[in-house]
A = this chain, B = another copy of it.
Amino acid sequence: MTFSIAVHGGAGLIRRHSLGAEREAACRQVLRGAIDAGTEVLARGGDALEAAIAAVVLLEDSPLFNAGRGGVFAADGTVQLDAAVMHGKDRSAGGVCAVRGIRNPILGAEVVRSQSPAVLLAGVEAERFLTAHGIRTEPPDYFHVQERWDHFLKARAAGRAVLDHDLDDDEEPKGTVGCVARDVHGHVAAATSTGGLANKLSGRVGDSPVPGAGTFAWDATCAVSATGVGEAVLRSSAAARVSALMELAGLDLDQATRRVVFDELPALGGVGGLIAVDGGGRIVAPFDSAGMYRAIRDTDGNVEIAIW
């Protein structure tokens, strides 16, 4: 059996002229590094979730994407991060939300999944649990990416909470990050990590850390990692919805994801995209926005890195 893997770095208003060639190349390089990190795990017969986490860690460590180090600033001027993981073999899941100072929230989500009776932990208590389990922290200056701070000040001046790429078209685009993978054992898994909306209400929980909303995995159907305006994703349990459309309505992965992204989410005011892999290793990456940072390695080993 072969493996496949896809990563995304967020969907939104990404314009070629404002992104710039240098920035575009840097983003593509990080996406390449992430897909390679996951591939390395899968190629040696490793687990789908281990691969997804390895990929997301690299995206979190980059200041270019809205997760981990590059997370946007909430309304109170702090970086508050959300992340979730889900394993398709048993639908075990873990998530953390509104945590500060955690270098790799995706590793925190995995600790919740594997070492906690809970599925979802929030806020300072989550931080305490993670640090007690050896998860690495960083001081505030680690998360102080200057362009993010400038962007936050602009969003605050505009008086609204925005996805970082929707502020205006000379903003540099970034977004939620995520990975879905299918390993050689036939298991699928999903991992999603984000800083949420710039200038968001402090304490706001989006879809990313919630199993079924922004992150879902079940070997019988698919694994999904979503990006976009999380409120519509939460209200429609969008990631689990893709699975339900496959299981209950007989749609294939392409049909199910297109229905969610192009019909159901817009009906609730949501715009975004997702990456998904089915039990056979097929990957799709639909998005209802100008662009979505993504890298896909299919079951034949072909790698595609794309933004538009």
What residues make up the interface of A, taking CB atoms closer than 8 Å to B? Answer: 76, 86, 91-93, 97-98, 116-126, 128-129, 161, 200-206, 210-213, 230-231, 234-237, 240-241, 244-245, 248-249, 268
- Please tell me how many copies of the chain the complex holds: 2
The residue that A203 contacts in the complex, of B117, B123, B200, with Cβ under 8 A, is: B123
A83 to chain B minimum Cβ distance, whole angstroms, is: 14
Least distance between A262 CB and chain B CB atoms (Å): 18
Chain B residues whose C-beta falls within 8 Å of the C-beta of A119 in the assembled complex: 205, 230-231, 234-235
Residue of B120, B125, B236 near A76 (CB, 8 A) is B125
Do B268 and A91 touch (CB < 8 A)? Answer: yes
| Cβ of A4 to closest chain B Cβ, rounded Å | 24
Can you show 6 pairs from A to B with CB atoms below 8 A apart?
Answer: A118-B231, A119-B230, A122-B123, A124-B124, A211-B234, A241-B244
Chain B residues whose CB sits within 8 angstroms of the CB of A93 once the complex forms:
234-235
Smallest Cβ distance from A79 to chain B, in angstroms?
14
Other contacts beyond A125-B201, A212-B234: 5, CB < 8 A: A91-B236, A121-B201, A123-B123, A210-B234, A248-B248
In the complex, A249 Cα to B246 Cα: how many Å?
Answer: 11
Are A117's CB and B248's CB within 8 A?
no
CB contacts (< 8 Å) of A206 on chain B: these are 120
Decide: B205 and A125 in contact? CB cutoff 8 A: no
Q: How far is the CA of A201 from the CA of B91 in the complex (A)?
A: 21
Question: How many angstroms from the CA of A103 to the CA of B198 in the assembled complex?
Answer: 31
Pair B205/A121 contact, Cβ less than 8 Å: yes
What residues of chain B lie closer than 8 Å to A211, measured between beta carbons? 234-235, 237
- Give the residues in chain B near A92, CB-CB below 8 Å: 235
